[in-house]
Amino acid sequence: MSAITAPTVRGIGGGGWGQMRAKLNSARLHLFVPLTLYLLFTLVPFYWMVVFAFRPTTSHNPYPWPITLANFKVVWNVLGFGTFFENSVIVGVGVLIGLNVICAMAGYALARFKFAGRGALILILLCTQFVPGVMLLIPLFVIFRHLGLIDNLFALIIADIVFQLPLTSLLMSGFIRNVPVELEEAAMVDGCSRVRAFLSVTLPLLRPAFVAIGSFAFIGSWNNFLFALMFMSSQNHFTLPVGLDYTIGEFSVNFGALAAGGLIAAVPVVIIFAFVQKYLVQGLTFGAVKG
């Protein structure tokens, strides 16, 4: 555990630790029985998908043996998951970069300047949380059609950025505020312009913020389904969630292929999540609120 996670003995268990050690066994049992049950509830579904993905479609074993990659070959080459994966990566990276740039600018303005309308803007940003994308499917479709962006991955990048932007801007301004303004002022005294001071002093210190926000932006856009379903019409512009839905909707579902496709969609986000989940518990709570 790095310094970022909480000290191990803290919170409600912390105080009672002396007593707890005395009755260690019973206390541990209260802990481990529900935890084990919950772990099973979480992991069995993942395991089941792995089993389906790696065993031959004819097999009924509850374990992935004999092991085969045939399902992945079908999914990647025949069903087009290679293309879907590529599209998801393009959109995810586009959102990650665009969102970080825009929210760094906005966050800097919110954190370092006093200006008319600042309070109102923050309130509006919070209120957008009550206006989610599903309800705006129809008008957004009309707008993107006017812009000629239907069936264009760029529409997805814009829509994903827009709906993540309000909270990430607030988060970023929190991060920036934690960087002492004196550092920038010192650089400016030494002859840097404001822009130069920001780029060479503050920006490097914000690396964890960019990593955290970028990761969650990527996960969010990777998982977005309805926008992609609504705005993309040709199969070579589908993203992974749409591809999965397409596979589910097949006349007779090929479970091996479905599981392999699911695994392809799951692995990147689960790996990213495993690395950044500590930020969530540490204090990115408000970002998590978005779900």
* Tokens 């959109």, residue located: 91
Among 138, 146, 204, 207, binds another protein (CB under 8 A): 138
- Chain residues 176-215 in contact with another protein, contact rule CB under 8 A: 177-178, 180-181
Q: Which is nearer to another protein, 90 or 266 (CB)?
A: 266
Part in contact with another protein (CB under 8 A); list of ranges 8-16, 68-76, 77-85, 199-207: 8-16
Q: Does 241 bind another protein (CB under 8 A)?
A: yes
Q: Which is nearer to another protein, 73 or 194 (CB)?
A: 194
CB of 61 to another protein, least distance (A): 11
Q: Which is nearer to another protein, 93 or 188 (CB)?
A: 188
- Chain residues 160-179 in contact with another protein, contact rule CB under 8 A: 161-162, 165-167, 169-171, 173-175, 177-178
Core vs surface per residue 97-118: b (16+ CB within 10 A) or e: ebbbebbbebbbebbbeeeeee
| CA-CA-CA-CA dihedral for 121, 126, 132, 136, to nearest 10 | -20
Distance between CA atoms of residues 263 and 81, nearest Å:
11
CB of 189 to another protein, least distance (A): 15
Among 205, 210, 201, CA closest to 284: 210
Q: Binding string, 257-276, against another protein, x = CB under 8 A?
A: -xx-xx--xx--xx-xxx--
For the record, the structure tokens of 126 come out as 């919070």
Q: Does 283 bind another protein (CB under 8 A)?
A: yes
Task: Please provide residue 241's backbone torsions phi and psi, each rounded to the nearest 5 degrees.
Answer: -60, -40
| CA-CA-CA-CA dihedral for 125, 147, 157, 128, to nearest 10 | 20
CB of 193 to another protein, least distance (A): 12
Instruction: Count the residues in the chain.
Output: 291
Q: Which is nearer to another protein, 27 or 93 (CB)?
A: 27
CB of 236 to another protein, least distance (A): 19
Residue type, 270: V
CB of 211 to another protein, least distance (A): 14
Among 115, 207, 251, 252, binds another protein (CB under 8 A): 115
Task: Compute how many residues bind another protein; rule: CB under 8 A.
Answer: 125
- Chain residues 65-94 in contact with another protein, contact rule CB under 8 A: none
Residue type, 178: N
Distance between CA atoms of residues 185 and 175, nearest Å:
18
Part in contact with another protein (CB under 8 A); list of ranges 71-79, 89-97, 199-207, 242-250: 242-250
Residues 6+ apart with CB under 8 A from 59: 65, 66
Among 54, 75, 74, CA closest to 66: 54
- Chain residues 9-68 in contact with another protein, contact rule CB under 8 A: 9-16, 19, 28, 31-32, 34-35, 38-39, 41-46, 48-49, 52, 60, 62
Among 48, 84, 87, CA closest to 246: 84
